[in-house]
Structure 1
Amino acid sequence: MDCKTVATPLAMNEKLSKENGSEQADEAIYRQIVGSLLYLTATRPNIMFAASLLARFMHGPTRKHMGTAKRVLRYIQGTFDYDIAYEKGKKARLIGYCDSNWSGSEDDLRSTSGCAFNLGSGVFSWASVKQSSVALSTAEAEYVSAAEATAQAIWLRFVLSYFGEEQVGATTILRDNTSAISITKNPVHHHTTRHINIRFHFIRDALQNGEIDFLYCKIEEQTANIFTKALARDQFEYLRRKLGVISAKHLEGSVEI
């Protein structure tokens, strides 16, 4: 409770491995911390990468892993009043972001992909982070990331339609890699996709059916970047705001009772 707070949950470019030369930590306490952090991601998606990274070391965590987990707690302590802001009067238009950190894992060179969806401007934020089951090439990692975002977009469109918020037109999914967009829209013309499991090719059907569309965005504007790697403070805080996670202090006087 009286710890020194930090501005970001992870040090920039933080990477952890199973074997790091430090002593074993208390596994029960470590699991409790990580479990609590995973639960907190429901309303604090900005700590999702940190929580998912720590969750890879549930068995046999070391003191370094524990130290990293405690840093996340120090970040939480300094941002107690942060949460997702829900604003009324915004158009309920679903917009997605997807990104991939190629070979980000120190132990097995697996890639980490992430996607986020906003409904309106800061009205709703939903995100997911997933580590690939095998090592992939850069093109494959980008394509898998796009496939996961497509699946989530289709599901969210269905859910919104059920609640009377049917999406008119294709759902835009923003990416920061023009080559990846080209491969996604024309996979049969790229030899780099020949090893990708065929289940990911349903992206083409979603594009042809007008359910999704991929567009380019600058890497600085790529919201999903916050789910794939540890970032510098300025970039982290900027993307946190884009997620709609802000301090309650900014809402003072804006709520009518």
Structure 2
Amino acid sequence: MKSMEEEMKSMKVNQVWDLVYLPPNRKAIGNKWVLRIKRKADGTIERYKGRLVAKGYTQHKGVDYEETFSPVVRFASIRLMLAIVAHLDLELYQMDIKIAFLNGELEEEIYMAQPQGFVIKGQERKVCKLKRSIYALKQSSRQWNLKFHQAVISYGFRMIEEDHYVYVKRSKDDFAILSLYVDNILLATNSKEFVKTVKDWL
């Protein structure tokens, strides 16, 4: 319950939806809770994880979504990046974006049922009008990638033409190479101070 409450708090903080009455001739998609136990290497319980996911398989093309394509970094690029790190003795960091998909802003009008166990009293007949993407929507990954791309370009990173999810940023003698695979970031740099600046921004 605590992990589910944390997920709902995250939804509220990120203003993922507004409660509205379902417009005529529209259907609300469903959702479900995915509950997992995260374990440490020795098998002991690290934490309980509750994630609210949409039933994206009930979405209809042309109504609830248009495009779904979302590129990811190529494995050849990751291998090349690791070779550069080893050759130049760079610092390497791996980061996982905790609520990546909630950053994606939706272009379509999507309505979703209120989450089980968290239906607002007195507003039981209302549905969630999604403003941001949540996990398992058809377009979630695409919307997150568009948002991430716009953000890193505005911060001064330059996209590599050969792989659209590898970025480079230079600052005098310092530089950073960044790659994105869904919601995982690899960041390589020749300066600990520079990487601190980039990580703080991220």
| TM bracket, shorter-chain basis | under 0.3
User: What TM-score does the superposition give when structure 2 sets the normalisation length?
Assistant: 0.27
User: What TM-score does the superposition give when structure 1 sets the normalisation length?
Assistant: 0.23
* Bigger share in strand: 2
